[in-house]
Structure 1
């Protein structure tokens, strides 16, 4: 069944169950079990052994500890502890009280995380979690649903990172482009130059970011999102309380210090940002041989280790600030434990998401979809659109933008170089755009999981509420890539994409207000 149409079954089954049951752990678990049985021709012992191996490999591989995953788990726990101390010290409440005087409206409350999402372009993981910690006190005060905050975070984090050359994504993509140019003997431009030229060709990234601001300014709430927003405004319930534990939410685990100050939140968050960036630079320099450039540093940085070190520094600062408060406060051990507990749901989802991702990879789902592209014979002008669609399905099924990049970028570059060398950059950009769109739709996307965590939202609620908005951006991008393929006009294609986002948004706004 590997590398055939049957390899799509676990991913499709998991997606259907997520939509029908809204229970992410159950859906992921079923996908893991079904995929394992398919890999081993429904042999019970072989399938159980496969499930054990993919679970073990999340933590320990044959080469030793899976440090990348362990560092990310550690960072999540540290972030939970930092958040708990910021809450217990009264810093979150003080910041919310201050911000509500500066941010006067619900629109402003939504624009704040959108702007932060664009500014923090260094890494998608970092963006997803940091923006939520800063913006949540403000969005909570204005009764903006957690699902809306998660959408704003998710739809700015990956889109801005994928078009930023000075980011963990940008460095990886530039390195991949360099390999593609050499393999296909393309000498018209250097990798960085190619990446910069590809920025306006990434239709979905611009459509997604543009739509976030449009949604905030014009109050475009429809579909499942409208239900969440209406409940938040009417009752003050920012999420569905009947769905159990929400990642990152402390509820009323302890009383906040009434004498907290803004710096009890700002200083730990600032320490997290500065500490993480310095660690990224440090690990990048340590892993770079010869002369180090900015791009090489970010290409070689150890993101998860840097996040862990930044999180550790933030915890230490938050702990010190909490301990020096003179007013009565909760036991520090209790605060730490409550912070840890808030992040456990996110870790459970991540573990199962990585497990099913590993099984889907073994089944060759990505290779099957890539093979379809290679075997397709069509008008070269349709190539960017086809690659956008296939990359979308691949990222949706596998839950990984980077995995899709790794498989599809070399294939797209080779096909375009053979077909029409002028289509190389549009083809590569279409893969990047489709990968981000598919990632936005996938319940096993780690970026989406972390966006839910940062926002303190139910993960499946986030995925379901984000889907209609993602489809608006994708629908507009389809026309953009059609125009690009047939005319080669970059600015016209991007302009049409953004105009379509506005028109679709206005039509939906009119239909939903009648």
Structure 2
């Protein structure tokens, strides 16, 4: 690979990430990176590069059926989330919890963590939905929007890879199954996916760290400063920060009677409809209910489930006299429209992914790491490569597709557990999706929390790197000892506690907020 090819592989993603952090303008940064990559692919011709920016890398993203469905259900999620907020159900739920259960900052963070873990069906919509439900609670407890965004991102970006019935689970099993067919391997994709769960050290570690921080108060770095600001001044976002969120709350009209059921009923119906949709699209009559869940289309199910649930939520709001039928329709449309900027970022993120593919970014990272692979370092090297790729491109989907065949092939070649290889790939892919500034999940978590996007990235990144460092040690121990997944997982979790404790003592020294917030 010559010098120009190396520069071509690394400049577009590096430019996107650097500009996003420096300028705090994600849309502009992504567009510039796509344009620069397209121009480089056209050997420095900016006119051809500008044409290809739109007609080769951005607009073709609309052709992909899964992208169309994702745009649709993200829009419907925005509509449903605003319906829950405006309909009074989320506020009634928050009031009930605040009055009877959640009364401290610690319990508020734990409750939000539980919500993020419980609503697991899609990484792309969960942050907005969970944020709409719990933001009322965390605001009352003076928990910063940066902390809320971190909790949302660390649960909703991670939990779906631990469930085969989630949008990610279905996609990953499909990738594994397709590769097995190509190499005529007789393994069971679903069983191997499940066998890889104990090896998802970063995934499980990031979920666990939220709970550890919530229970102990071991905040450090930028997050500690954000939490002190929120507790001591009541300022939940940084001064002057630009925030993408829904419209401001409206006052409930006279005679309105919203209850906690205005939120609980739609959420229960949503989950039921997702399972029904999976059974329908997976042909339960031919494959049985369990088989249909593996064969069904999660994206098709989510689109229909969110739309029907939004209709039911609107009907409950009308019945509770919170809004008229016309206001319910307008609220749903406004919620859908509030996701427009997020959808543009998603489309540009797909565009930068296409540019990186054309520039050979993933192939470059793989080629650099491939020569370092040994049976002892297999897990660690694949994890590092997957982390770098997912962070550079902001996409875990492409990482799963690229690295799963490589990791499985290596595992088969050295007679290592296939599930282990799959789990490592998923863990590395989650890292970038969790904390890259150009990841759609990172953006949606900022929206769900009402937090400035770059502030979310800066406060979350030290925590993500803490978990990644602990996970890397866990993978090295697993590789060199030949131990099972649980050995490395235990080491990862212990190291997370130790590192967080040390960093809190060094960079999060006791303050009035730290002493009293528990």
Report if TM-score (shorter chain) is over 0.5. Answer: yes
Q: Give TM-score scaled by structure 2 length.
A: 0.88
Deviation at 1:483, TM superposition (A): 0.6
Deviation at 1:485, TM superposition (A): 0.7
- Could you tell me how far apart the structure 2 residues matched to 1:240 and 1:47 are? 38
The answer to whether 1:432 aligns with 2:432 is no
CA contact (8 A) 1:134 1:269 kept: no
Deviation at 1:486, TM superposition (A): 0.7
The answer to whether 1:496 aligns with 2:499 is no
The answer to whether 1:238 aligns with 2:236 is yes
Give the direction of change, closer, same or farther, for the CA distance of 1:87–1:190 in structure 2 (3 Å limit): closer
| Aligned positions of 1:442-481 closer than 5 A | 442-481=436-475
Deviation at 1:381, TM superposition (A): 0.6
Give the direction of change, closer, same or farther, for the CA distance of 1:246–1:414 in structure 2 (3 Å limit): same
Deviation at 1:427, TM superposition (A): 3.2
The answer to whether 1:361 aligns with 2:361 is no
- Could you tell me how far apart the structure 2 residues matched to 1:67 and 1:185 are? 28
Q: Which residue of 2 aligns with 1:162?
A: 161
CA contact (8 A) 1:395 1:436 kept: yes
Give the direction of change, closer, same or farther, for the CA distance of 1:190–1:331 in structure 2 (3 Å limit): closer
**How many residues in Structure 1 have an aligned counterpart in Structure 2?**
501
Q: Give TM-score scaled by structure 1 length.
A: 0.89
Q: 1:487 aligns with which of 481, 496, 499?
A: 481
CA contact (8 A) 1:96 1:141 kept: no
Q: Which residue of 2 aligns with 1:35?
A: 37
Deviation at 1:259, TM superposition (A): 3.8
CA contact (8 A) 1:391 1:435 kept: yes
Unaligned stretches of 5+ residues in structure 1:
none
* CA offsets 1:178-199 (integer angstroms, 9 cap, x no match): 5556666766x64444333322
Q: Which residue of 2 aligns with 1:96?
A: 94
Q: 1:265 aligns with which of 263, 266, 272?
A: 263
- Could you tell me how far apart the structure 1 residues matched to 2:140 and 2:299 are? 32
- Could you tell me how far apart the structure 2 residues matched to 1:192 and 1:74 are? 28
Q: Which residue of 2 aligns with 1:56?
A: 59
Q: Which residue of 1 aligns with 2:218?
A: 220
Q: 1:251 aligns with which of 248, 252, 274?
A: 248
Out of 396-405 and 266-275, give the one that drifted further.
266-275
- Could you tell me how far apart the structure 1 residues matched to 2:280 and 2:224 are? 44
* CA offsets 1:206-247 (integer angstroms, 9 cap, x no match): 211111100110123222222332232233333346333413
| Aligned positions of 1:107-126 closer than 5 A | 107-126=106-125
CA contact (8 A) 1:84 1:335 kept: yes
CA contact (8 A) 1:440 1:463 kept: no
- Could you tell me how far apart the structure 2 residues matched to 1:152 and 1:167 are? 19
Q: Which residue of 2 aligns with 1:4?
A: 6
Deviation at 1:250, TM superposition (A): 2.2
* CA offsets 1:39-92 (integer angstroms, 9 cap, x no match): 211213321221121332233x3xxxx443333333333333333333333333
Give the direction of change, closer, same or farther, for the CA distance of 1:38–1:166 in structure 2 (3 Å limit): same
Q: Find the residue that maps to 1:508 and give its secondary structure.
A: helix
Q: Which residue of 1 aligns with 2:399?
A: 404
- Could you tell me how far apart the structure 1 residues matched to 2:267 and 2:494 are? 37
Out of 69-78 and 42-51, give the one that drifted further.
69-78
Give the direction of change, closer, same or farther, for the CA distance of 1:428–1:12 in structure 2 (3 Å limit): same
- Could you tell me how far apart the structure 2 residues matched to 1:293 and 1:4 are? 49
CA contact (8 A) 2:145 2:451 kept: yes
CA contact (8 A) 2:243 2:453 kept: no
| Aligned positions of 1:38-437 closer than 5 A | 38-53=40-55, 54-59=57-62, 61=63, 66-101=64-99, 102-178=101-177, 190-240=188-238, 242-247=240-245, 249-252=246-249, 254-257=250-253, 259-285=257-283, 291-292=287-288, 294=290, 296-326=291-321, 331-332=327-328, 335-374=331-370, 376-377=371-372, 379-418=374-413, 420-422=414-416, 424-437=418-431
Out of 319-328 and 157-166, give the one that drifted further.
319-328
Q: Find the residue that maps to 2:17 and give its secondary structure.
A: helix
- Could you tell me how far apart the structure 2 residues matched to 1:406 and 1:344 are? 28
Q: Find the residue that maps to 1:220 and give its secondary structure.
A: coil
